[in-house]
Amino acid sequence: MRALKTIKVIMEHGKNKQVRKVHTSAVMISPPQADWPQIQEIRKIYDKSYVRWMPHINLLYPFVHNDEFSTAVDRIKNAVSSIKPFTVQFKQFDFFKHGKASYTMWLKPEPNEAIKELQQALEKAFPGLEDLSTISDAGFTPHLSVGQWKNEAELLKKKKEFESTLQPIDWEVSEVCLISRTAEDPFEIRYTVPLGGGDIKVHNLLAPVPKAELKTRVFIGNLPFTVTEDDLKKELESIPGISCQKITLVKDPKGKPKGFGFVDFPTEEQKIKAVEYNGKVTLNGRQIVINPVNG
């Protein structure tokens, strides 16, 4: 589980505010769903993030916590109000190389200058969220990921195959989307903000987790996929002074365990005690990760 970070951003009333930067939210653009079938036919086979992410091009990621969206959406509206809708096309693929034997293939939007200008306007509105423009020497590269490969020869073969069958996709970029997810569920759109001004659209909002709950909750990771809630409860309650109030093991849409979850304790003191046993509890030969949840 990636550690939460904080950044200082002027979020409201012209005042600096310490806000959370997380990997469970993003600002992105996405082709219309009518254009998804060709993309999804590839992603469902080759993209490990097929379930978690919709087809998308990230503009800001990580982003501020979902709890800050009601303020962030107005800032986004101001940032994109002078940018007119524009059209891009997908007709070819490109790829990133990560290390010696790891590759990501992606659809290449053309032209990409307008997307870069849009991304720069958003970064300017959110100082401290320059991750996508500083991730490499090349700077921000607009891309829609379709899959991962370990072998370059196989990747190049598939790239040629995909390009021979792809029907070019033309789409108008007319809005940006604020998306977020919980640990259990895929990303969903929470707000859409039109380019060039207009009304913000509100979608399926995610209710904030009550801070009182966060005070007594831990993240549990590196779990064997065969472990049940009862197994975990028994092991944790073998720690002196600990009793589990609620255990949630996260599963994918098909009901398969993902190897992590959350545990709620009756008191904050018990949570603190459990965190002290991070890496000291073993299940089926695995050292269990126990980290505090801060929201």
* CATH code (residue 114): 3.90.1140.10
Residue 3 has pLDDT above 50, yes or no: no
Q: 249 in a domain, yes or no?
A: yes
Q: Are residues 259 and 224 in the same domain?
A: yes
Contact 270, 216 (CB under 8 A): yes
Q: Kindly state the average pLDDT of the residues 200-207.
A: 86
Q: Are residues 123 and 32 in the same domain?
A: yes
The rounded percent of the chain whose pLDDT value lies above 70 is 90
* pTM attached to this predicted model: 0.73
* Residue 244: other Cβ atoms inside 10 A: 18
Q: Are residues 36 and 121 in the same domain?
A: yes
Q: Kindly state the average pLDDT of the residues 130-154.
A: 95
Residue 12 has pLDDT above 90, yes or no: no
27 pLDDT band, cuts 50/70/90, is very high
Q: 140 in a domain, yes or no?
A: no
In this predicted structure, what is the pLDDT of residue 17? 58
Please count the structural domains in the chain.
2
116 pLDDT band, cuts 50/70/90, is very high
In this predicted structure, what is the pLDDT of residue 210? 65
Q: Kindly state the average pLDDT of the residues 27-38.
A: 96
**Is the N-terminal amide bond of 62 cis, ω within 30° of 0?**
yes
